[in-house]
Amino acid sequence: MRNSKTTPQKETKMVKSAELLTAQADFSATFAAFKNANDQRLAEIESKQSADILLTDKVERLNAALDQQTSRIERLSIKNAQPQLGAVTEDGEAKSAWSSYIRTGDGSALILLESKGLSAGVDAEGGYVAPAETESRIDRALTETSPFRSIASIRRIGAGAFKKPVSIGGASSGWAGETDARPETTVPQMELLDFPTGELYAMPAATQILLDDGVADVDQWLADEVRNVFAAQETAAFTNGNGTNKPSGILNYTNVEDASHTWGNVGYVATGTDAAFDSTAPIDALIDLIYAPKPRYRSGASFMMNRRTVGALRKFKDADGNYIWQPAQAAGQPSSLLGYPLVEVEDMPDIATDSYSVAFGDFRRGYLIVDRQGVRVLRDPYSAKPYVLFYTTKRVGGGIQDFNAIKLLKFAAS
């Protein structure tokens, strides 16, 4: 009986791996065709000052196909990493009580655990706090899906807000001999970062048949259902959030020319051309952007932009004739731009007049995501019969914690 249960799971895993390998092979073939067609287009532009319209259309079609195939590989990589139904999970009194509530709506065992001090909190009006294992599954699913979580710092807190004093400089230092007098140093300038959390919610629906299935892993189902909704809302807030009941996004701060950059603002580098890269030296602005942060931030830096901006940069070559964009070397790894990882965030703006469409820097040092402990789930079997709704909430905050670590590219003359 043990072998009969494990064999189908292994076969499913093998099928998924084969599908992923096929997708990677298709991507490699398309990328080779794209480079060949784009090389012809660039050669025609150099010799004739223009390219054949059919060849240009072919390059655009291949470029769009690369976007679709990249998304497919990302989906398959996430799917391939998910636990299979029937996988062994942590057992125990809390796990059993939680499963009973999710499957049947009976929360009496959870209330009993609360009286024993074994549960994080119970509120019949607002739902029940999920066990740590369930919360961890949701967090893992979010990390696998959210491009921002893959590069930012994450801090778990137990309060409604996170406050962090930081030094923005001002303390003096120097050298002195063994018997030399030590001059009094100046007091460093301090700033208080305050990241309140806002409530993020989703409401997945399940059939009672799924909940009655004793083999189905309802915890994994719940994590999978809220993953995409949470990730989409989070990423939008981490990019453009205004800080009111949600995180402050990297584009929500005051942007100043990098030469005039001060703490509390985000420095930018201009492309020198309105709504576009420079026509004769398009890569120069990217190189200036790379060298805008101090050296200590570049070792862990990444590019961030949406897929349409990636599509534009994919056609550029460096002085040696090499494409500045390169595909990922392995599934689950980011592509690269000028040797730095490139993270696609759809909420970054398209290239337009005065747009900040490209970000670069060490986001792990620059941006902090704050997760308040505790995921709350309210089971609702009445509002959408015959489906059972699960109103799931978690509290998330965030903002820039080091304004020297992140720089923007502005598509403008200055």
Q: Which pLDDT value is given to residue 86? A: 43
**Percentage of the chain modeled with pLDDT above 90:** 44
Q: What is the spatial distance between Cα 204 and Cα 396, in angstroms, rounded to a whole number?
A: 19
Tokens of 182: 């030590």
Q: Answer with the residue of higher pLDDT: 217 or 270.
A: 270
Q: Which pLDDT value is given to residue 169? A: 65
DSSP state of 143: H
Query: What would the mean pLDDT of 336-352 be, rounded to a whole number?
Result: 96
Q: Which pLDDT value is given to residue 1? A: 38
Q: Answer with the residue of higher pLDDT: 168 or 104.
A: 104
Q: Answer with the residue of higher pLDDT: 1 or 214.
A: 214
Tell me how long the chain is: 414
Query: What would the mean pLDDT of 15-22 be, rounded to a whole number?
Result: 64
Q: Answer with the residue of higher pLDDT: 169 or 26.
A: 26
Give residue 48's pLDDT band: very low, low, confident or very high (50, 70, 90).
confident
Q: Which pLDDT value is given to residue 342? A: 96
pLDDT at 216 over 60: yes
Phi, psi of 247 (to 5 degrees): -65, 165
Q: What is the spatial distance between Cα 29 and Cα 98, in angstroms, rounded to a whole number?
A: 48
pLDDT at 225 over 80: yes
CB 37 within 8 Å of CB 62? yes
Q: Answer with the residue of higher pLDDT: 17 or 153.
A: 153
Tokens of 307: 């897929």
| 0.85 exceeded by pTM | no
Tokens of 292: 């805008």
Within 10 angstroms of residue 173's Cβ, the number of other Cβ atoms is: 6
Query: What would the mean pLDDT of 306-333 be, rounded to a whole number?
Result: 90
Pick the CATH number of 86-168+189-306+345-414 from 3.40.50.300, 3.40.50.2300, 3.40.1740.10, 3.30.2400.10: 3.30.2400.10
Q: Which pLDDT value is given to residue 356? A: 98
Q: Answer with the residue of higher pLDDT: 93 or 39.
A: 39
Query: What would the mean pLDDT of 358-373 be, rounded to a whole number?
Result: 95
Give pLDDT tens digits for 115-156: 554 444 445 556 788 888 888 888 888 887 889 999 999 999
Q: Which pLDDT value is given to residue 184? A: 67
* Domain locations in the chain as residue ranges: 2-81, 86-168+189-306+345-414
CA 137 to the chain's CA centroid: 17
Q: Which pLDDT value is given to residue 64? A: 85
pLDDT at 84 over 60: no
**Percentage of the chain modeled with pLDDT above 70:** 84
CB 193 within 8 Å of CB 222? no
DSSP state of 102: H
pLDDT at 203 over 90: yes
pLDDT at 164 over 70: yes
Q: Answer with the residue of higher pLDDT: 37 or 271.
A: 271
Q: Mean pLDDT over all residues of the chain?
A: 83
Single-letter amino acid, residue 218:
V
Listed range (206-210, 215-219, 341-345, 365-369) with the worst mean pLDDT: 215-219
Closest alpha carbon to 105 in 394, 382, 373, 393 = 382
Q: What is the spatial distance between Cα 266 and Cα 277, in angstroms, rounded to a whole number?
A: 21
Q: Which pLDDT value is given to residue 17? A: 60
Cα distances from 363 to residues 101, 157, 266, 401, 406, in angstroms, run 39, 20, 13, 10, 7
CB 358 within 8 Å of CB 408? yes
- Which residues are registered as beta bridge partners of 270? 410
Q: Which pLDDT value is given to residue 171? A: 58
Listed range (100-104, 165-169, 251-255, 345-349) with the worst mean pLDDT: 165-169
